[in-house]
Chain A
Amino acid sequence: MNKTTFISSGFLFALLIVAAPLSGLAQSYITESGHVEFDSSVPLHSFTGVSDHLVGKITLTDSIVDFYVDVNTLKTGIGKRNNDMLRTLEAQKYPFAEFYGKIVSDFKPINDHPQEVTVEGEFTVHGVSKQTTITGTLKKTQEGIHVEASWTLNMKDYNIEPPGILFYRVSEKIDVSISATLPPN
């Protein structure tokens, strides 16, 4: 192998490797303004904590799904209750609720109908991580990818002590739902 061939092959190899992540980047979608809701239903104390600060990234090349929200941005509509909720979640100590996992079912980005997908990964809140499987929908739109998903978490699983009200306690189940459109990165 002469010197010129040697250098050319080196460049070709490097270009291939550069191209791979670049094509990966082209297929990643990111948002910082997704919508997330935490619903707790119990007589006299049903509340919905809502935030539009959900940060999310979906990379199609490796099927990685990465979402997080600063729980301090959750609002319930009642100032007092916001503080109650943040105390319960120990939001200063554990500021993030997050999911990091992989799409384990088929998703065809060329199809513009909502497609049911399953993701498996770790959901973390209150500093506790649990392996979770979530079913949701992904839809290719002109703006990017629209994702919708919901699941139920049990406060006990995440060492969250539900606040007591007089003679009964808040339901230990919380319904979580997310909705976001992720433009291509």
Chain B
Amino acid sequence: MRAQLKFYLVPVIILLFSMQCMAQMERERANIVEPVETFWTPTLISQATTEHLSAGNLNVTIMHSFGIATTNTIQNFFGLDNVQNVRLGLDYGITDKWTAGIGRSSLFNVVDFRTKYALVQQHTDGSKPISISIKADLGIVTQQNRQSFKDDLSTLTSAIISKKINKQVRLQLSPMYGYFSSVDTGDNNHLFSVGVGSQINLSERFAFMAEYYPVIGTQNPNTNNAFSLGLNIQTGGHVFQLFFASTRWHLEQYTIAQNREQFWAGDFRFGFNVNRIFGL
């Protein structure tokens, strides 16, 4: 009787095994470890982020800020009649971690050269919990003036530390040092700030963002800490950023040196950035 049982059992087990062989393959996720997407753009509103362009990618940016929206609101159509500053910029990903760029602001005709390098990038597997980048910017006033070239220079050096906290929230701190070779009487050549930035994703297409520039140490007379609030709109290929900002500057060293407006007192202006990335 036992032998008879074996006679049936063995083929049944083997049959089951052979059926298993013919079944659909088990789906297995590919093990991809790569930098997480912290922010949608290399620049939040005016603060650089830890987001880097891929090697060979060119980011074309148009940054635009208008007049104060709350002054002569109707006559100036919420400030839109008074274009204050336009920065046109090109940034290129030399490697996946190293970007270099050039831009020109219409205010004082400042031409700036900048570079950013990723020291650490937060990884999808959690092995690196934060991202750290360093950034340097050299601004040159090209508007005709009575100053010599060396008095037209300004620099910005910053470390950018960011973390994607969860699917929605990203936070960033940017200790920064701004230097101006020549300043008006009473102004500082050296300025320090710890920029604070945040992006909160509302959906796959929309994200809320904010940034703040508290100046550490002596502030320039009649200036205030700059604050901006904005909305990121992600479309296929473009990221549009609509924002309200106190400052009219799109360069960090000028933002900490020259912002005279107080956002929460109602001194804010409308602005927008357009980012379009091309693969070269």
Contact = CB atoms under 8 A, between A and B. Distances in A.
Interface of A: 3, 6-7, 9-10, 13-14, 17-18, 20-21, 24-25, 28, 44-45, 53, 55, 57, 59, 62, 64, 66, 68, 70, 72-73, 76-81, 83-84, 87-88, 95-96, 98, 100, 162-166, 170
In the A-B complex, the 8 residue pairs with the smallest Cβ-Cβ separation, listed nearest first, are A21-B18, A163-B236, A79-B54, A10-B7, A70-B30, A78-B279, A77-B279, A14-B10
A10 B6 contact: yes
B21 interface: yes
Contact of A66 (B10, B25, B53, B278): B25
Given A3-B3, A166-B235, A59 B22 contact: yes
A8 B10 CA distance: 13
B3 A66 contact: no
Contact of A14 (B11, B53, B237, B238): B11
Interface in B203-258: 204, 234-239
Contacts, number: 101
Interface string B128-167: 0000000000000000000000000000000000000000
**Number of contact residues on B: which range applies?**
35 or more
B205 to A, nearest CB: 8
Given A10-B6, A14-B14, A79-B54, A84 B237 contact: yes
27 contacts: A3-B3, A6-B7, A9-B7, A10-B6, A10-B7, A10-B10, A14-B10, A14-B14, A20-B18, A21-B17, A21-B21, A25-B21, A28-B21, A66-B24, A68-B27, A70-B30, A73-B32, A77-B279, A78-B54, A78-B278, A80-B277, A81-B237, A87-B204, A98-B27, A164-B235, A165-B235, A166-B238
